[in-house]
Amino acid sequence: MRAMKTARYLVAALLVGIVPGLCAAPQASLLGPEPEQHIAVNNKILAKVNGNAISIMDVMKKMDMLFFKQFPQYASSSQARYQFYMANWKHVLNELIDKELILADAAEMKITVTQGDVRQEVEALFGPNIIINLDKAGLTLAEASKMVEADITLRRMMFFRVHGKALNQITPQVVRKYYDEVAKDHIRDNEWIYSFVTIRDKNAEKAAEKANEAYRLLVEQKISLEELAAKMSPQAGVIDASAVTVSEELHTKEKDLSESFRTIVSNLQPNSFTAPIAQKSRNGSGALFRIFYLNKMIPGGAVPFTELEGKIKGMLLDKAVGKESDAYLKRLRQHFDVQEGQLKEILSSDFQPFSLQ
């Protein structure tokens, strides 16, 4: 199970260029001025992969690189770095073990990386002041270059052994077949996009006059809803603007419409108005008329294939990548020597590799 989860984390990390599962940003800035402290390392061999030993120092160096990449603002904080170490060392150890397996496979295939590629990525990672930033990260140029070379090799191997195979499995026919199987579970309700004008007056006769005037302005003079209230303001010499309000444009599923509203808008054609409709006022005082405007109706039914195609392809690809990576790492563990027993014992013990002094 750990191998399966690690494999999927590893593939995701390689595809987006980060290591997932890392802790949130350290809280160094909230701790106030730090006393003079340093991180003590209880160094020991944690695992052996294909004859290569992985120590606490190896794990720490990898975490230093990740820490600088994600939290460069805390580079000089011992407390922040210690928090990061303690939260992530087990996860990073598992990543390093899987990396060693993949690198061993790359060595057998004689995969090489040019120094130009390595230098370009180191510069992108640490910026123009490489030596200063490497010093902040606690790394030498040789150490950083070695890690970057391994990361590039890893990405290429994972694409060749995992991602490339997964991509070949997700054909247009496979995506379409999956859509046909799930389309019935993605039924969309009709959606109505509409607005309405509300006209109120204590006098029912005046309310009707105002409503008819608003309807004439909208239909005959074809003014916009936004212009209506201003057009019917006292300055225009017609009515009190407070008696006329225009709703925002509403996007409402059919199931969420009241029965009365659904009856009204369903009898409208797109881009058309109803005649003034008398309605009951909630507070029971005065008269109320409404004029409804239908912008458009989005028909319901199965969500179109074009809308779901990208999501389906991404989901199927993620599933295929997970399956291929699990199978790949399983083959590597059978091919190379990994001391699983010793590793499980260390991870389940109270071993503390770092302390703040």
What per-residue string of b and e applies to 244-253 under the rule 16 or more CB within 10 Å gives b? bebeeeeebe
Show which of 280, 301, 322 is a domain's final residue.
301
CA 68/CA 137 separation, integer angstroms: 6
pLDDT of residue 25: 56
Count of Cβ atoms closer than 10 Å to residue 19 Cβ: 21
The answer as to whether 183 is a domain residue is no
259, 278, 301: which is the final residue of a domain?
A: 301
Work out whether strand 277-279 and strand 250-253 pair parallel, antiparallel, or are unpaired: unpaired
What is the domain-level CATH number for residue 285?
Answer: 3.10.50.40
Q: Which domain holds residue 246?
A: 188-301
Confidence at residue 3, expressed as pLDDT on a 0 to 100 scale? 45
**Segment (H or E) for 276:** none
Is there a domain that residue 182 lies in? no
3 state SS of 338: strand
Q: Which amino acid is at 259?
A: E
CA distance 116 to 145: 11
Q: Is residue 243 part of a domain?
A: yes
CA distance 133 to 68: 8
Same domain, yes or no, for 151 and 212? no
Look at residue 77 and tell me if it is in a domain. yes
* CATH at 125: 1.10.4030.10
Same domain, residue pair 129 and 275: no
Same domain, 162 and 14: yes
What is the model's pLDDT at position 235? Answer: 52
Q: How far from chain centre, in Å, is Cα 274?
A: 43
Nearest to 188 by CA among 302, 266, 298: 302
**Distance between CA atoms of residues 226 and 232, nearest Å:** 11
Residues 102 and 148 in one domain: yes
Domain boundary among 301, 325, 344: 301
DSSP single-letter state for residue 96: H
Structural domains of the chain, count: 2
Q: Please give the chain's pLDDT, 357 residues, in tens.
A: 444 444 444 444 444 344 444 555 566 544 555 567 889 999 988 888 877 888 999 999 889 988 988 888 888 888 999 999 999 998 899 888 888 899 999 999 998 899 999 999 999 888 888 888 888 888 899 988 988 999 999 999 999 999 999 999 999 999 999 999 988 887 888 999 999 999 888 888 888 998 999 999 999 999 998 888 777 765 544 445 447 888 999 999 988 999 989 999 999 999 999 999 998 877 666 789 999 999 999 888 888 899 899 999 999 999 999 999 999 988 898 888 666 666 677 777 788 899 988
- Same domain for 32 and 98, yes or no, is yes
Residue 6: predicted pLDDT: 45
164 inside domain: yes
- pLDDT for 285 equals 67
| Cβ-proximal residues to 190 (8 Å cutoff; 6+ apart), any chain | 253, 254, 297, 298, 299, 300
Q: Residues 249, 326: one domain? A: no
pLDDT score for 9: 46
129 and 228: one domain? no
Cα–Cα distance for residue pair 47/168, rounded to 1 Å:
35
67 and 206 together in one domain: no
Q: Look at residue 181 and tell me if it is in a domain.
A: no
Output phi, psi for 89, to 5 deg. -65, -35
Token couple for 168: 């070949």
Does one domain contain both 341 and 231? no
262 & 138 share domain: no
How far apart CA 271 and CA 293 sit, in angstroms, is 7
Q: Residue 266 falls within a domain, yes or no?
A: yes
CA 90/CA 25 separation, integer angstroms: 18
Q: Read off the amino acid at residue 296.
A: K
Residue 242 falls inside a structural domain: yes
State whether 12 and 127 are in the same domain.
Answer: yes
Please tell me the predicted confidence (pLDDT) of residue 311.
Answer: 94
CA-CA distances (angstroms) from residue 277 to 243, 292, 303? 15, 9, 35
Q: 20 with 160, same domain?
A: yes
